[in-house]
Amino acid sequence: MSQEINIDALLPQEMAEKAEEIGVRKAAMPFFSLFTLSVLAGAFIALGAMFAIITAAGSSALPYGVARVLVGLTFCIGLILVVVGGAELFTGNNLIVMAWASRKVSTSSLLHNWAVVYLGNFVGSVGTATLVFLTRQYTFGAGSAGEAALNIASSKVGLGFVQAVMLGVLGNVLVCLAVWLSFSARSTTDKILAIIFPITAFVAASFEHSIANMYFIPYAILIKSFDPAFVISLAEKAPDLSRLTWSGFFLNNLLPVTIGNIIGGAGLVAVTYWFVYLSKKKN
């Protein structure tokens, strides 16, 4: 007898159960596998950020909204690589809270996963930023690529603390919704289509993502620190880089954005779907 193959997308109840199951598996992953996949995820998101910078270079000739949508579309490759290729991303792993709320993952296992993945993402993102800097890609397009990188980073470190938190909340709401929608997928095409629109929206709206910022800001700091002649060559086109420092990166952006990402991903998306679909299940 031939076995029937179900090609229909999973329904939300089934997606919640799948999210719970995936959360249990992620929390139980051995350290070195988890860390290695986390480094990969950081590199994947960094590649999306690199693509976004190139798209932003010279885009001032386009209407603001059109330019932002194009930047968002190109950034999508980062999460597509994470979800389809298989990697561990801190912001997406906020959904492990669904398994934690069902008491299938302990608090210590949840925090251990987040800590290892966050560190691995940092290594992957900053490592990729260093490699791209060494290619001198920022000089391409008559320096427009570097100008775009510096503009993006300077705007991020110039955010107010509360503003950065709120932008982080909304950013990870959309990132976690993209991951959540991918749980419904039966094919690679389904996963890619589920990712594209939420991620394009998050980038187009200039929301904040902690792991992407581990590339955007260090990359610009490397340009500022190790090629001051390039910055000087931009003359009046160079943005204010006074806040573009490592302390500015960690305190003005990464800290508040990470807080916001956790609130948005774990507190809003994960808890909401757990309450609706899993809270009344017998554990």
Amino acid letter, residue 173: V
Q: Per CATH, the architecture of 12-277 is what?
A: Up-down Bundle (1.20)
8 Å CB contact between 83 and 41: no
| pLDDT of 231 above 80 | yes
| pLDDT of 282 above 70 | no
Residue pLDDT, tens place only, 245-265: 999 999 999 999 999 999 999
| Ranges of each domain in the chain | 12-277
Token digits for 63? 């209407």
pTM over 0.85: yes
Q: Could you identify the residue written with the tokens 């774990």? A: 266
Q: Can you give the length of the chain in residues?
A: 283
Residue pLDDT, tens place only, 126-167: 999 999 999 999 999 999 999 999 999 999 999 999 999 999
Exposed e or buried b per residue across 40-78, where buried means at least 16 C-beta atoms within 10 angstroms of its C-beta: bbbbbbbbbbbbbbbbbbebeeeeeeebbbbbbbbbbbb
Residue pLDDT, tens place only, 5-15: 566 889 999 99
